[in-house]
Amino acid sequence: MLRGTFANIGLIAALATAPASAQEPAKERTGAGGYELVWADEFDTDGPPDPAKWVWDTHANKMGWYNKELQYYAADRPENARVEGGRLIITARRETLAARADHGGQGYTSARLITKGKAEFTYGLIEVRAKLPCGKGSWPAIWTLGATAPWPDGGEIDIMEHVGQTPGDIFGTIHNRSTAGSFGNGGKTRIQTACTAFHDYQLLWTPREIRFAVDGKPYHRYANAGTGAEQWPFDQPHYLLLNLAVGGAMGGEVDDAIFPATFEIEHVRVYRQAVRGAAPAATPE
């Protein structure tokens, strides 16, 4: 069940004003509070992910996924993604689905869910409560991609990435045209219980800046430098992605003993700042 229409004002204030590092001074508070819920999935109904909210992304199965990843993303398969007990459970498995027409020879299966065409957002607070897998070779991610332009021109916001090679290290990263060819502009924080407990992975996205946080504690900030779309393509809609990759450039060497590996999500919530004098928004843009 939804736990309220409005975002916690204290959380918004903390993300908007707290320094993202010990070296950065606190910012003047601007627009803290007044964030209302515009989209959410609380995963209350057992079964497949809600088709009104999520799309199975399988487009690169045949050619092979990016970043040298090793998984095949299966669609409509509860062994890889299902809602159960109030959680979305994405599971990576050591298996081959060679009989599928779009199979590309992968020896692992998993799932990648996106909101493209269902829900897209420009600015706001995004919060995903999740528990991560920690096995060597696992690579869960919570992220967004630009809906109106291809990568990197549409921009990418990695709200949370974690790899079993370095369990407990949480990465938040920005990618755009100006960072193409690099590892992006990112930060890292340490969450000792990332794989044993649920935590809130958060993004505060405004016209001025993007802030990354875990459990209300900011750890990285990316500012709009005002130099144009190559540095700030983040004034256009993005869609959400949830996936569990295997191996690849970031996931690294895979220990087959970890499978099945699970990525559990308790909720996904998107809040947007209300416009004074306007009626509350019923749906995202």
Strands 71-73 and 108-110: parallel
User: Does 240 reside within a domain?
Assistant: yes
**Domain total for the chain?**
1
Q: What's the pLDDT at 229?
A: 97
Predicted confidence at residue 35, as pLDDT, reads 87
Q: Is residue 281 part of a domain?
A: no
CATH number assigned to the domain comprising residue 230: 2.60.120.200
Residue 222 belongs to some domain of the structure:
yes
Please tell me the pTM assigned to this model: 0.90
Domain contains 100: yes
Residue 105's alpha-carbon distances to 39, 71, 98, in angstroms, are: 37, 9, 7
Residue 44 CB burial class (10 angstroms; 0-12, 13-18, ≥19): exposed
The pLDDT score that the predictor gives to residue 245 is: 98
Measured CA distances, 72 to 58, 136, 161, 285 (Å): 8, 18, 19, 31
Identify whether 279 is part of a domain: no
3-state secondary structure 231-282: CCCCCCCEEEEEEEEEEHHHHCCCCHHHCCEEEEEEEEEEEEECCCCCCCCC
Q: Is residue 278 part of a domain?
A: no
In a domain, 3, yes or no: no
- Active site residues per annotation: 156, 161
pLDDT of residue 140: 98
Would residue 4 count as lying in a domain? no
Q: Domain of residue 18: give its range.
A: 9-273
Q: What is the pLDDT of residue 72?
A: 98
Task: Pick out the chain residues at pLDDT < 50.
Answer: 1-4, 22-23, 25-32, 277-285
